Structure 1
Amino acid sequence: MPGAHRDLTDEELMLAYAGGDPVAFDTLYARHESALLRFVRRVLGSALAAQADEVFQDTWLRIVAARASFRPQGARWRTWAFTIAHNVAMDRLRVSGREVVPDAPDDGSDPLDWLAATLDARHPSSEDEAFWRAAGRQLLDCLDALPAAQRAAFLLHHEDGASVEELARHLGLPFETAKSRLRYALQKLRGCMQGYLVVLERAA
């Protein structure tokens, strides 16, 4: 990354790109490529995994097309971009007939980071790496089993760090609906991960 761009915030980079600076876009892409692709893959789930790259590229095309509409006072760039990715992925799920709206593969990352942080638990020792690999695979399976709307809201909240208020605003949902989706998702994940949670709670 060129030094002049490396120290800019995401919001500054987007404004620079909207103003005609293509290197600013290259910097944004390099900074967020992995996280956005991981998010898209997880929102789509295993059933549509083969379409993840296409949805990922469509997301960036929409980001490019919407560059002039970005306003930093409205949202962090990351939340804005992840919301676009969410919308593209949910559109694809609707077309496939796989989206389920509730009533009120391993990509190299550690899918249990948020879980350990939630429990304030320490990772088991290095001798227990097999435990963490197995728990990571189980968590991905549990995420895949969630209704798409709950899975997407959960990932926006825990991977992007979007608050409930941001979720509601950017997804066009009432606050209580966004809150309920997160609560239901966490309840289901906790139930699905119960065997591993017991071990983590003992290690805390």
Structure 2
Amino acid sequence: MDFHLKSDQDLIHLYIGGQEGALVELIRRYQSKIYTSIYLLVKDEYLAEDIFQDTFIKVINTLKAGKYNEEGKFLPWVSRIAHNLVIDHFRREKRTPLVSGGDDFDIFDVLGHHDESTEDRMVREQTYKDLKSLIHLLPAEQKEVLIMRHFSDMSFKEIADVTEVSINTALGRMRYALNNLRKMMQQKELSLKN
């Protein structure tokens, strides 16, 4: 079956119906955005992988239990799960290890190693490298909104709900974040020219 031609909703139904390959396609489709959004918040590669894995374990459990009902909103839904797991992590003691899915399950085994060529990976890493370093310099509230909007495709209403602020506050934070990023990029270009 040609899974990559199917919609998210079709893939979800196929997976619930027992087609494991549909899940692999869903993860492949969004792994870069979701992993990046987690990594930008936690700033640690291994922790980001743990949270990414925990996110998809939660996704799998919810789908298998028949509790998914977000028609056509798969990426924002997964992003909310990931974001909540990041918040949970920061609420706990820094040293507390994340609860993983156990030795019998590894989301990266499900994915396999065929997803991205070395060239693609290098280009993607280079593209994000400078942007990541600038995003890290933003105030936490601005950084959070920017990541949820641009890496997780969440609406401002969804961002407002998750962060427990008004939509106007979320929009304001986004405006400040983009202005600050623009200023930092201009300063970086000036310093490179000098």
TM over 0.5: yes
> Residues of 1 paired with 2:170 and 2:176: CA distance?
10
Task: Tell me what 1:8 maps to.
Answer: 6
More displaced 10-residue stretch of structure 1: 164-173 or 182-191: 164-173
Is 1:52 equivalent to 2:69 in the alignment? no
Closer/same/farther in 2, CA of residues 196 and 29 from structure 1, 3 Å limit:
same
- The structural deviation recorded for 1:197 is 6.4
The answer to whether the Cα contact below 8 Å between 1:190 and 1:197 also exists between their aligned partners in 2 is no
Alignment deviations for residues 72-104 of structure 1 (CA, whole Å, 9 cap, x no partner)? 43x51111111211211222233356xxxxxxx
Is 1:33 equivalent to 2:25 in the alignment? no
The answer to whether the Cα contact below 8 Å between 1:150 and 1:181 also exists between their aligned partners in 2 is yes
TM-score normalised to the size of structure 2? 0.69
TM-score normalised to the size of structure 1? 0.66
Alignment deviations for residues 86-137 of structure 1 (CA, whole Å, 9 cap, x no partner)? 211222233356xxxxxxxx962623xxxxxxxxxxxxxxxxxxxxxxxx52
Q: Which amino acid aligns with 2:62?
A: A
Task: Tell me what 2:80 maps to.
Answer: 83
| 3-state SS in 1 of match to 2:31 | helix
What percentage of residue pairs aligned between the two structures are identical? 25
| 3-state SS in 2 of match to 1:146 | coil
Alignment deviations for residues 169-204 of structure 1 (CA, whole Å, 9 cap, x no partner)? 4554421232232123223323332324679xxxxx
* Ranges in structure 2 where 5+ consecutive residues have no aligned partner: 95-121
Closer/same/farther in 2, CA of residues 171 and 25 from structure 1, 3 Å limit:
farther
Closer/same/farther in 2, CA of residues 198 and 12 from structure 1, 3 Å limit:
farther
Closer/same/farther in 2, CA of residues 19 and 169 from structure 1, 3 Å limit:
farther
> Residues of 2 paired with 1:171 and 1:19: CA distance?
34
Count, aligned residues: 161
| 3-state SS in 1 of match to 2:69 | coil
Alignment deviations for residues 139-162 of structure 1 (CA, whole Å, 9 cap, x no partner)? 322211234443222012122333
The answer to whether the Cα contact below 8 Å between 2:70 and 2:77 also exists between their aligned partners in 1 is no
The answer to whether the Cα contact below 8 Å between 1:39 and 1:155 also exists between their aligned partners in 2 is yes
Matches within 5 A, 1:46-195: 48-67=44-63, 68-73=66-71, 76-95=73-92, 108=125, 110-111=127-128, 136-137=129-130, 139-195=131-187
- The structural deviation recorded for 1:15 is 2.8
> Residues of 1 paired with 2:164 and 2:58: CA distance?
18
CA-based RMSD of the aligned residues comes to 2.7
* Ranges in structure 1 where 5+ consecutive residues have no aligned partner: 98-105, 112-135, 200-204
> Residues of 1 paired with 2:57 and 2:133: CA distance?
30
